[in-house]
Amino acid sequence: MRKWNFCAGPAVISEEVLGEVKEELLEWGNSGMSIMEMSHRSSIYDQVAVDAKNDLIEILSVPESHDVLFLQGGATQQFATIPMNFGHTTNEADYILSGSWSKKAIAEASKVIKVNTIASSEDGGGFNYAPDPSSWKFSPNASYVHYCPNETIQGVSIHDAPNIPKPLIADMSSVILSAPIDISRFSMIYAGAQKNIGPAGLTMVIIDKKFMADDNEDLPNILRYSKHAASNSMLNTPPTFAWYMAGKVFKWIKRSGGLDYFKNQNNLKALTLYSFIDESDFYQNPVKVKNRSIMNVPFILKNPSLDAIFLKESESAGLLNLKGHRSVGGMRASIYNAMPMEGINALIDFMKDFEATNG
Ligand SMILES: Cc1ncc(COP(=O)(O)O)c(C=O)c1O
């Protein structure tokens, strides 16, 4: 029996999508084989790949100026390939430090180029807020500015896309497709698929074509964005099954009402959960209100000696993966697009009961 899965990633996928995939698993269309067994160069697979790309372009209103790439290696590989490709002109870039993932991006980029951490909310290690874009002071020589709009571990967000003069690159792994975004503000957006897009193994990149044209030609082809773009993300064998499933998720988003629908749903879900936490004396969310994530909601029990029993009982109640990241402790409910309001209500009902028994 399927339960409510609050995992940060790989994360819940719509049951409707999983049902379709199940139906098609043994034979895709009239091809005589499953999608997994098919050449990525076949005309049948090509249609699946092109449809997925076009649907994503439609959902996100990706402008003509930008290309969409379906890559591998996860967001972590992007931490390395971004400075390799786009840091080489000045050997310098500006980074914003707002949580564990931007910290990792900085550590990786620092091996390749000079990183200027131009704004940080690490004060005391807490990351309970994000540095406001109005406080970012850019370095004259920075080739680009990198930030993470949604820190999955701390549940800290910078909600509005900054409008800045430098090429802007964003790690949108845990926030992409949760709401409409103005793609034109970004030179590059990247995201591991395993939260709002589909199964792990696929990495989405949306990149300004002019920006991409200046990537580093000394790199091996597999590390260059322009080479992937020139071969329609089929420089080598792509993650065909994950790409196909992402296409299914994009179609599900479209028929559900697109990103405006999900934005409303996600805001409602998050507001309901945060309001409950704020009204309680038993639970607490440490993040500054304006930086609260709508995708990842961390919370602590004021009495941490109850953590283990909370996790055990929540699991028995059918609420899975509520344990906070090992680096921060406490709890975290990841409430991506595929988590319906019913799941939030089930979580709140459990939290109320647990408080009544243990408070
Ligand atoms: C914001 C963010 N960036 C990067 C990563 C790393 O992604 P991957 O495991 O795909 O390399 C994650 C994973 O959870 C993430 O949430």
Mean pLDDT of all residues in the chain?
A: 97
**What residues contact 173, with CB distance under 8 A and at least 6 apart?**
9, 75, 101, 150, 152, 190, 191, 192, 195
The Cα–Cα gap between 48 and 77 comes to 25
Give pLDDT tens digits for 127-156.
Answer: 999 999 999 999 999 999 999 999 999 999
pLDDT confidence of 123, banded at 50, 70, 90?
A: confident
Per-residue confidence (pLDDT) for residue 313, from 0 to 100: 98
**What residues contact 50, with CB distance under 8 A and at least 6 apart?**
none
| Total H helices, total E strands in the chain | 10, 14
pLDDT mean over 281-289:
95
Out of 101, 188, 328, give the residue to mutate to test ligand 1, the one with the largest number of ligand atoms within 8 Å of its CB: 101
Tell me which residue has its CA closest to atom 7 in ligand 1: 75
- Output the CA 357–ligand 1 centroid distance in Å: 36
Per-residue confidence (pLDDT) for residue 327, from 0 to 100: 83
The secondary element (H helix, E strand) that includes residue 184 is none
- Inform me whether the pLDDT recorded for 124 exceeds 80: no
Per-residue confidence (pLDDT) for residue 328, from 0 to 100: 87
- Inform me whether the pLDDT recorded for 4 exceeds 90: yes
192 Cβ below 6 A of ligand 1: yes
Using a pLDDT cut of 90, give the percent of the chain over it: 95
Using a pLDDT cut of 70, give the percent of the chain over it: 99
- Output the CA 257–ligand 1 centroid distance in Å: 27
Per-residue confidence (pLDDT) for residue 245, from 0 to 100: 98
pLDDT confidence of 335, banded at 50, 70, 90?
A: very high
Per-residue confidence (pLDDT) for residue 39, from 0 to 100: 98
Q: How many CB atoms lie within 10 A of CB 219?
A: 16
Per-residue confidence (pLDDT) for residue 211, from 0 to 100: 98
Per-residue confidence (pLDDT) for residue 61, from 0 to 100: 98
Per-residue confidence (pLDDT) for residue 69, from 0 to 100: 98
Nearest to 322, CA basis, from 3, 1, 5? 5
- Inform me whether the pLDDT recorded for 83 exceeds 80: yes
Per-residue confidence (pLDDT) for residue 302, from 0 to 100: 93
pLDDT mean over 4-33:
97
171 Cβ below 6 A of ligand 1: yes
Domains of the chain: 16-256 (3.40.640.10), 258-358 (3.90.1150.10)
The Cα–Cα gap between 336 and 9 comes to 10
- Inform me whether the pLDDT recorded for 88 exceeds 90: no
pTM of the model: 0.98
Give pLDDT tens digits for 163-219.
Answer: 898 999 999 999 999 999 999 999 999 999 999 999 999 999 999 999 999 999 999
Q: Which atom of ligand 1 is nearest to the CA of 172?
A: 1
Nearest to 11, CA basis, from 245, 267, 212, 231? 245
**What residues contact 340, with CB distance under 8 A and at least 6 apart?**
none
Q: Which atom of ligand 1 is nearest to the CA of 73?
A: 11
Counting Cβ atoms within 10 Å, is residue 45 exposed (0-12), middle (13-18) or buried (19+)? buried
Per-residue confidence (pLDDT) for residue 359, from 0 to 100: 83
Output the six-digit token pair for 264: 């409303």
Out of 96, 103, 152, give the residue to mutate to test ligand 1, the one with the largest number of ligand atoms within 8 Å of its CB: 152
Tell me if 257 sits within 8 A of 21, measured CB to CB.
no
Question: Residue 306: how many CA atoms within 13 Å on its side-chain side?
Answer: 15
Q: Which atom of ligand 1 is nearest to the CA of 200?
A: 10
